[in-house]
Amino acid sequence: MPITQRNVTLLMLVIFNTGILGVTGIFWMTNARTLLPIAVVGSFLLIALLFAYWHGWEPARFLASAFLAIVIAGTINDPLLTFSVGTTPLLAVSAAALIATPLWAVGSTLIVAMALLVRMAAPDADFFVADFVIYLLNSSAIVLTRVVAETATQHAEAQATAAEHARAQSEIQAAELAQRSAELQTQNEQQAQLLDLVATLETPAVDMADGVLLAPIVGHLDTRRASQLTARLLQDVSERRTRLVILDIAGVNNVDTAVAQAILHTVQAVHLLGCDVIVTGISAAVATTMTHLGIDLSGITTARTPQEALGQEIGSRK
């Protein structure tokens, strides 16, 4: 269990109560009638402060510190305490430093110092300037020690608070990152779905008749679209048990070597599945361009329109 200010204060209050009860017993046995009432009242007061602090009344520790300083200052000139004049004044300062604050320790030091000055001024003084200076030095050392300890405690608490704040901020940032990651994942999934939809719309495949599939190509045919077209046609041919694919390129704006090669590769891939392919929609301009490029389409069946290609298929089956 960590040592806290409350634990130290409770322990010191118990020690004070034990000590003052012992002093009360000594005064009773020595018939010290002058100090006995003070000791009895002090015993009851310290016991009350102990129970009050035990139940959470924080000012009890400050009252106990002030009471001890006043009692020591008030009895410092009594002959019975002469034997302990060197250590008794420091008791008030030490108690205030332990159970109160450095400021209360300074106050206890000043209260006892005034009592010591009174004792030094007495005709039969047995407490001298050197003793007073030693008392002040010892008291200052006790106060400074308490200041250093309290500063270190406050610094440690500040660091703990900062660490807790940093941990809370890290948790918040982690939660935000997780939320952003989930949002990005959702966006990526939606984007992938849109890309699939676009790819489907770019390379549609429509059933024209039983076993006949029409695949019109519209716009520019690049490597990406050619790969998508080939993959989609192969999948549809396999799933639909297609006998004939009509590849209509009437909507292709421009035909170059890359486009022509893509069309040839698509036709060859579909042929490997045992499916016939008829290319339709070859315009005069496209035919001229392909001729100039030296592209050989002799192995490919062509027709002017998809309807003509469908008619050829129907005629060949009769």
What pTM did the predictor assign?
Answer: 0.46
Instruction: Provide CB contacts within 8 A for 77, sequence distance 6+.
Output: 115, 118, 119, 122
**Can you tell me the distance from the alpha carbon of 87 to that of 127, in angstroms, rounded to the nearest whole number?**
12
**Can you tell me the distance from the alpha carbon of 189 to that of 47, in angstroms, rounded to the nearest whole number?**
73
Largest distance between two CA atoms of the chain: 148
pLDDT, tens digit, for every residue of 241-269?
888 899 888 887 777 777 778 888 888 88
> Both ends of the chain: CA-CA distance in Å?
99
Give the 3-state secondary structure percentages of the chain, helix then strand then coil, rounded to 5. 70, 10, 20
Paired strand residues for 212 = 209, 244
Going along the chain from its start, the domains and CATH numbers come out as: 5-160 (no CATH), 206-317 (3.30.750.24)
> Of the candidates 77, 70, 63, which has an alpha carbon nearest to the alpha carbon of residue 38?
70
Judge whether 262 and 226 are in contact, CB under 8 Å: yes
pLDDT, tens digit, for every residue of 187-231?
888 887 776 655 555 566 788 888 888 888 877 777 777 788 788
Residue 67 has pLDDT above 80, yes or no: yes
What DSSP line would sit under 109-159, residue for residue?
Answer: HHHHHHHHHHHHHSTT----HHHHHHHHHHHHHHHHHHHHHHHHHHHHHHH
